[in-house]
């Protein structure tokens, strides 16, 4: 992929972020309730109409919608996500404090999911009914389990019954194990199914027979030829997986009482703390765009057939082809 | 003692015997061929020799040895010691038999790594050497390229290089030239012959008797898993003992003049098997003048139905460079005649055909189709300027039959629904009873019957599918049918039946054919006139007999010379005037 194409992708990414910002802005507008109440501490605070009017003027809520929208976009453009109504501190600062825990959780979960999926798929593709059927059943069970239920199950076994692992907190690596597993297992199950079906398709191909006819062992065939091909659909899945991870953190962080963006988002939604909600949504959109851009850049590495032919290479190939033509022609006509 | 010795080999899959009681031997430096049509068990036999028969296969043999090793008792681990290093295997169609995302050099390197103890630098040197050995020019560049960046011939050479990397004593080649153009095919056969002369034993699997006659001293003809005839290649071809061998030989279109039937003794119907060939006399090998059946070609050539005027087509490649794939092509097709288009892959045959039937717009030039309005009056339209309604009417007059009919049918449709759709969309039949009656008529016209209406394409054989495709094309009562490699995927005996059927249909309906094929034998058999394309240009066109008997252009001469023919003199490559000399 050359620079121009990356530029186009980046521009498209900005477009997606803008779309996400606009949609959330509109969603806030149609949500019942006045944000001014949220700012002064919710309806329970029972503020006087004068206070409300003052807040509305201060935050520009009395302005026409279009003006509010343009101002909002203008602030976003300079990286100002606004101030949290509830915490009275800049949203960027709130997100900055919370992002570490979530990155740690999502990163470990993603890695875990990928490793599990690859190992299971490589070992179970095109095996007998017991191995393959067993793996498929477990995957189906995990993929269809709601993560809060799976989390509670893991908690009751490994934390409450066996006391192996802590149940709450961000304290250390041990506290990360159960939340990461809860997040990773359903994703690993889905990935492993995709990976196995593409692996099985590849292992049917004639070039696999060629590789076996060369004397390659079964394991070498699976890993060297099969896996490489299966990584291509896996890369495509990664985009969806990222979405699943971000959504999953909301539940997992609440369940395990971990600090992070997911829990912050939940609290902000409950308190109608719109700047924070908008901030998390925008951040998710940006992460999503960036991950998919990286996947796009990865395709030609995984599948060299997708490499665009540069001018030099093309010329080289053409020259060589001409050479071939001549040679072959000579062989025939000689 | 023979290098390979097989006695009473039987292979079955879930109770169905794919190979029954097959026995043969191969000596060092000898070429042996197994010949048969698809499903005859020839590939299964070959794969059994390297222990890759497939899942669920049950292999039994009284004796199966390779250099004294008992192949029936080998464990997977011991097989790996034989595969690649002692027996090399070249699969059919190198495009799918080489890993598409690895450079070909790495495939050869992998073979070296498995079967030798060479270090990395040494292997790199050997890869280049091997590519050079199999006649790949610029081996240093080619080693770094992907299979998709190589031509069919180079890919096949690279695949052969990877198979001989471990310096095996036996090389097995399964349909080594099937996907290749005729000139490239000749070169690959020379290469195989050359490798055999190095002292290797060679086992060639093929459906093509002419190919076999070039590289094998001995052959086995197999049918439905059984050897029906075996012996010295020359002797078998000179005096085939079994009726099936005779029928196979008789079905080769290249060996028969136009207007003769390829399935001897058969009427206008079709023969489900080659049993109908009993008693047919062995056909003389001379390529011309052997009229051995009733002439069925109705030579009534009528008005022009399609005309291409200076048609050109440019495509812009991924590198932004525009290439002219069809360059200033002009021709006419008349009712009741067959215009053949020949050329090697990439010569622009298919694009030309697509432009004629309006699937592709020419960059320059125009195509006129003479159709009939509903009131029967002839109308002439240029695809580019015709109105939407006229185009729809034109589509009825022009039909297409592809190489692979399976992919041109909706797999969920029954044959009846396929035909009903063609009939109703074209307005040729409207009432449901009319549709059914007409569908059955069409099926009968192509040698099928009402019992096929409820069948789905997947449950039909290749030949039956192509018959349904012909019936579907006829449903709209077209004036021109484009046939794009219509028999290339078929076995020679089925191909013969389909070619006979096409001739019958033309005789009965007066439809014009635009017949595209890379197979000059087929073209010479079916065409009245021929167009030879090279790099998108017409290098020669004219009456088929003139062009094939007295080719003017060097390229046509080259193509004709490269047609593999069964050589009465024997198996040595280059023995006949037609074969390329090295």
* CATH for the stretch B303-408+478-562: 3.40.50.300
Contact residues on chain A for B163, CB-CB shorter than 8 A = 213-214
User: In this predicted structure, what is the pLDDT of residue B303?
Assistant: 84
Give the lowest-confidence range in B57-61, B386-390, B459-463, B573-577. B573-577
**B222: helix, coil or strand?**
strand
First and final CA of chain A: distance in angstroms? 44
Picking from A207, A212, A333, the nearest residue to B52 by CB comes out as A212
pLDDT for B122 equals 93
Q: How far does CA A149 lie from the centroid of its chain? A: 22
Q: Is B176 on the interface with A (CB under 8 A)?
A: no
- List the pLDDT tens digit at each of the 334 positions of chain A: 567 777 888 888 888 888 888 888 888 777 776 777 777 766 566 777 887 788 777 777 778 888 888 888 888 888 888 888 777 888 888 888 888 888 888 889 989 998 999 999 998 988 888 888 899 999 999 988 888 888 888 888 887 887 787 777 666 777 788 888 899 999 999 999 989 999 998 888 889 989 999 989 888 899 888 888 888 888 888 777 887 788 888 888 888 888 888 888 888 888 778 888 888 888 888 888 888 888 888 888 888 877 654 434 444 444 444 333 333 333 333 3
Band of pLDDT at residue B329, cut at 50, 70 and 90: very high
Task: Tell me which residues of chain B, numbers 99 to 128, contact chain A at a CB-CB cutoff of 8 Å.
Answer: 99-103, 107, 110-111, 114-115
Structure confidence at residue B567 as a pLDDT band (50, 70, 90): low
Element (H, E) at B246: helix B243-250
A316 and B581 within 8 Å at the Cβ level: the answer is: no
pLDDT on residue A326: 35
Is B138 in Cβ contact with A214 (below 8 Å)? no
Q: What is the pLDDT of residues B420-477, one digit of tens each?
A: 999 988 877 777 778 888 999 999 988 888 889 998 888 888 888 899 999 999 998 8
Distance in Å, alpha carbon of B543 to nearest chain A alpha carbon = 25
Kindly state the average pLDDT of the residues B279-295.
34
Q: B80 vs A215: CB contact, 8 Å cut-off? A: yes
Q: Given CB atoms, is A222 within the 8 Å cutoff of chain B? A: no
Query: What residue ranges do the domains of chain A occupy?
Result: 3-84, 91-304
Q: Which residues contact A11 (CB under 8 A, 6 or more apart)?
A: none
Most B-contacting residue of A235, A332, A334 (CB-CB within 10 A), to test interface:
A332
d(CA B539, CA B517): 16
> Cβ of A210 and B97 within 8 Å?
yes
User: What is the average per-residue pLDDT within B195-203?
Assistant: 89
Is the CB of A332 less than 8 angstroms away from the CB of B321? no
Query: Among partner residues B101, B146, B186, which is closest to A332 by beta-carbon distance?
Result: B186
Residue B576 has pLDDT above 50, yes or no: no
Q: Could you report the per-residue pLDDT of B498-546, keeping only the tens digit for each?
A: 899 999 999 888 999 999 988 888 888 899 999 999 988 999 999 998 9
Give B209-213 contacts, CB < 8 A, sequence gap 24+: B209/B35, B209/B237, B209/B248, B209/B249, B209/B252, B209/B492, B209/B566, B210/B252, B210/B254, B210/B563, B210/B564, B210/B565, B210/B566, B211/B177, B211/B185, B211/B564, B212/B33, B212/B35, B213/B237, B213/B564, B213/B565, B213/B566, B213/B567, B213/B571
Residues of A in contact with B146 (CB under 8 A): 304-305
Section B544-563 average pLDDT? 88
Residues 131-150, chain A, touching B (beta carbon < 8 A): none
Structure tokens at B275: 């049993």
Enter the pTM of the model: 0.73
Dihedral sign of CA atoms A12, A14, A15, A21 in order = positive
Interface of A with B in 272-311 (CB under 8 A): 302-305, 308-311
At A44 the pLDDT is 64
Interface-testing mutation among B138, B317, B322, with chain A (most A C-beta atoms within 10 A): B138
Q: H or E segment at B143?
A: helix B139-143
Residue A12 to chain B, least CA–CA distance (Å) = 22
HEC profile of B351-412:
HHHHHHCCCCCCCEEEEEEEEECCCCCEEEEECCCCCHHHHHHHHHHEEEECCCHHHHCCCC
Best of A214, A300, A320 to disrupt the B interface by mutation (most B CBs within 10 Å)? A214
Rounded Cα gap, residues B527 and A1, in angstroms: 48
Q: Which long-range contacts (CB under 8 A, 24 or more apart) does B174-177 make?
A: B174/B43, B174/B46, B174/B89, B174/B90, B174/B91, B174/B92, B174/B205, B175/B43, B175/B92, B175/B93, B175/B205, B175/B206, B175/B207, B176/B90, B176/B92, B176/B204, B176/B206, B177/B206, B177/B208, B177/B211
Grouping H, G, I as helix, E, B as strand and the rest as coil, residue B323 is: strand
**Are B137 and A333 a contacting pair at CB < 8 A?**
no
pLDDT band at B219 (very low <50, low <70, confident <90, very high): very high
Q: Report how far residue B36's alpha carbon sits from residue B221's, in angstroms, rounded to the nearest whole number.
A: 6
The pLDDT confidence band at residue B376, using thresholds 50, 70 and 90, is: low
From the list A260, A9, A234, the residue with the least C-alpha distance to A117 is: A234
Delimit the domains of chain B by residue range.
Answer: 303-408+478-562
A308 to chain B: which residues are within 8 Å by CB?
Answer: 318-319
Confidence class for position B5, pLDDT limits 50, 70, 90: very high
- Residue B518 three-state SS: coil
DSSP B9-44: EEEEETTEEEEEEEEEEE-TT-EEEEE--TTSSHHH
B553 near A CB under 8 A: no
- For the four alpha carbons of B393, B394, B395 and B397, in that order, the dihedral sign comes to positive
Supply the DSSP symbol for A89. Answer: S
% of chain B at pLDDT higher than 70: 88
B146 pLDDT higher than 60: yes
Residue B185 is predicted with a pLDDT of 83
Among B26-35, B254-263, B315-324, B376-385, the minimum mean pLDDT is found in B254-263
Does A77 contact chain B (CB < 8 Å)? no
CA dist., res. B473 & res. B482, Å (int): 10
Residue B481 has pLDDT above 90, yes or no: yes
What order of strands is seen across the sheet that includes strand B364-372? B322-334, B304-316, B364-372, B378-382
| pLDDT for B121 | 92
- Give the pLDDT of residue B258: 64
Predicted pLDDT at B294: 34
The whole-angstrom separation of Cα B324 and Cα B319 is: 14
**pLDDT exceeds cutoff 50 at B171:** yes
Strand, coil or helix: what is B87?
strand
ipTM over 0.85? The verdict is: no
B323 close contact with A: CB closer than 8 A = no
Whose CA is closest to A21, among A62, A85, A69, A83?
A69
B185 interfacial to chain A (CB closer than 8 Å): no
Min CA distance, A325 vs chain B (Å)?
Answer: 10
Q: Which candidate from B83, B141, B162 shows the least CB-CB separation from A320?
A: B141
B40 touches chain A (CB under 8 A): no
Q: Which chain B residues have a beta carbon less than 8 Å from that of A213?
A: 50, 52, 83-84, 88-89, 91, 163
Query: In 3D, which of B149, B190, B179, B253 has the Cα closest to residue B498?
Result: B253
Q: Annotate B43-61 with DSSP letters as a single string.
A: HHHHHHTTT---TTEEEE-
Give the one of A229, A310, A331 whose C-beta lies nearest to B101's C-beta.
A229
Q: Measure in Å the smallest separation between the Cα of A216 and chain B Cα atoms.
A: 7
* pLDDT band, residue B133 (cuts 50/70/90): confident
CA B367, B373, B376 angle in degrees (round to 5)? 120
Which pLDDT score, from 0 to 100, does residue B563 have? 76
CATH architecture of the domain with range A91-304: Orthogonal Bundle (1.10)
Q: What residues of A are in contact with residue B139 (Cβ under 8 Å)?
A: none
A217 lies within 8 A of chain B by CB = yes
Chain B residues near residue A215 by CB distance under 8 angstroms: 80-85, 111, 114-115, 166
Amino acid A2: pLDDT: 67
């Amino acid at each position: 992929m050359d620079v121009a194409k990356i530029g186009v992708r980046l521009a498209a990414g900005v477009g997606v972020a803008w779309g996400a910002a606009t949609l959330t802005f509109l969603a806030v507008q149609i949500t019942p309730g006045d944000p001014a109440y949220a700012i002064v501490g919710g309806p329970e605070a029972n503020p006087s109409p004068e206070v409300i009017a003052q807040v509305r003027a201060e935050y520009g809520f009395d302005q026409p919608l279009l003006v509010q929208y343009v101002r909002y976009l203008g602030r976003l453009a300079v990286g100002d996500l606004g101030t949290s109504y509830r915490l009275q501190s800049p949203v960027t600062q709130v997100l900055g404090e919370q992002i570490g825990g979530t990155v740690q959780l999502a990163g470990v979960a993603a890695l875990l999911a990928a490793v599990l999926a690859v190992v299971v798929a490589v070992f179970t593709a095109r095996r007998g009914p017991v191995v393959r059927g067993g793996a498929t059943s477990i995957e189906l069970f995990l993929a269809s389990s709601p993560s809060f239920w799976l989390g509670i199950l893991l908690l009751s076994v490994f934390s409450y019954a066996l006391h192996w692992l802590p149940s709450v907190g961000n304290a250390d690596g041990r506290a990360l194990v159960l939340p990461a597993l809860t997040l990773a297992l359903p994703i690993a199950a889905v990935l492993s199914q995709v990976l196995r079906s593409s692996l099985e398709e590849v292992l049917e191909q004639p070039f696999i027979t060629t590789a076996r006819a060369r004397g390659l062992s079964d394991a070498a065939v699976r890993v060297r030829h099969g896996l490489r091909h299966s990584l291509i659909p896996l890369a495509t899945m990664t985009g969806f997986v990222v979405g699943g991870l971000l959504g999953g953190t909301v539940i997992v962080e609440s369940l395990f009482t971990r600090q992070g963006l997911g829990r912050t988002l939940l609290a902000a939604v409950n308190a109608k703390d719109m700047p924070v909600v908008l901030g998390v949504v925008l951040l998710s959109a940006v992460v999503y765009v960036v991950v998919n851009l990286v996947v796009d850049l990865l395709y030609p590495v995984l599948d060299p057939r997708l490499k665009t032919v540069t001018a030099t290479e093309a010329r080289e190939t053409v020259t060589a082809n001409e050479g071939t033509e001549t040679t072959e022609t000579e062989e025939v006509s000689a | 003692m023979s290098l390979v010795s097989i006695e009473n080999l039987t292979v079955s899959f879930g109770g169905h015997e794919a190979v029954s009681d097959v026995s043969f031997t191969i000596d060092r430096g000898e070429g042996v061929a197994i010949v048969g049509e698809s499903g005859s068990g020839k590939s299964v036999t070959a794969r059994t020799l390297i222990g890759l028969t497939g899942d669920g296969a049950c292999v039994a043999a009284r004796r199966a040895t390779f250099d004294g090793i008992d192949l029936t008792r080998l464990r997977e681990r011991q097989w790996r010691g034989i595969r690649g290093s002692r027996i090399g295997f070249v699969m059919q169609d190198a495009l799918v038999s080489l890993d598409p995302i690895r450079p070909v050099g790495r495939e050869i390197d992998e073979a070296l790594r498995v079967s030798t103890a060479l270090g990395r630098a040494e292997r790199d040197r050997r890869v280049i050497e091997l590519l050079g050995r199999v006649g790949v020019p610029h081996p240093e560049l080619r080693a770094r390229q992907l299979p998709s960046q190589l031509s069919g011939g180079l890919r096949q050479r690279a695949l052969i290089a990877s198979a001989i990397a471990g310096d095996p004593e036996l090389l097995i080649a399964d349909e080594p030239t099937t996907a290749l153009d005729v000139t490239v095919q000749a070169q690959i056969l020379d290469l195989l012959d050359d490798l055999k002369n190095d002292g290797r034993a060679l086992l060639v699997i093929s459906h093509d008797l002419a190919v076999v006659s070039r590289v094998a001293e001995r052959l086995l003809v197999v049918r439905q898993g059984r050897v029906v005839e075996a012996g010295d290649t020359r002797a078998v071809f000179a005096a085939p003992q079994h009726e099936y061998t005779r029928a196979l030989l008789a079905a080769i279109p290249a060996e028969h003049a136009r207007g003769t039937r390829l399935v001897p003794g058969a009427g206008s119907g079709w023969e489900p098997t080659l049993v109908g060939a009993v008693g047919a006399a062995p056909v003389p090998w001379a390529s011309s003048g052997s009229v051995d059946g009733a002439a069925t070609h109705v030579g009534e050539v009528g008005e022009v139905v399609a005309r291409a005027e200076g048609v050109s087509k440019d495509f812009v490649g991924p590198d932004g460079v525009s290439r002219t794939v069809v360059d200033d092509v002009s021709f006419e097709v008349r009712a009741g005649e067959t215009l053949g288009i020949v050329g090697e892959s990439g010569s622009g045959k298919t694009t030309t055909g697509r432009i004629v039937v309006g699937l592709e717009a020419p960059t320059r030039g125009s195509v006129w189709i003479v159709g009939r309005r509903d009131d029967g009056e002839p109308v002439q339209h240029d695809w580019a300027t015709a109105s939407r309604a006229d185009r729809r009417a034109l589509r009825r007059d022009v039909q297409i039959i592809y190489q692979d009919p399976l992919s041109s049918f909706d797999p969920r449709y029954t044959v009846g629904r396929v035909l009903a759709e063609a009939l109703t969309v074209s307005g040729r039949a409207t009432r449901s009873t009319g549709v059914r009656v007409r569908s059955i008529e069409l099926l009968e016209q192509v040698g099928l019957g009402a019992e096929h209406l409820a069948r789905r394409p997947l449950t039909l054989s290749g030949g039956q599918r192509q018959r349904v495709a012909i019936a579907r094309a006829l449903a709209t009562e077209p004036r021109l049918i484009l046939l794009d490699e219509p028999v290339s995927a078929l076995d020679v005996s089925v191909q013969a039946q389909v070619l006979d059927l096409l001739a019958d249909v033309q005789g009965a309906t007066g439809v014009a054919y635009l017949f595209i094929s890379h197979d000059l034998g087929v073209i010479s058999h079916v065409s009245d006139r021929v167009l030879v394309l090279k790099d998108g240009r017409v290098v020669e066109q004219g009456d088929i007999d003139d062009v094939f008997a007295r080719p003017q252009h060097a390229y046509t001469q080259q193509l004709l010379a490269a047609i593999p023919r069964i050589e009465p003199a024997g198996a040595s490559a280059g023995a006949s005037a037609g074969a390329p000399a090295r």
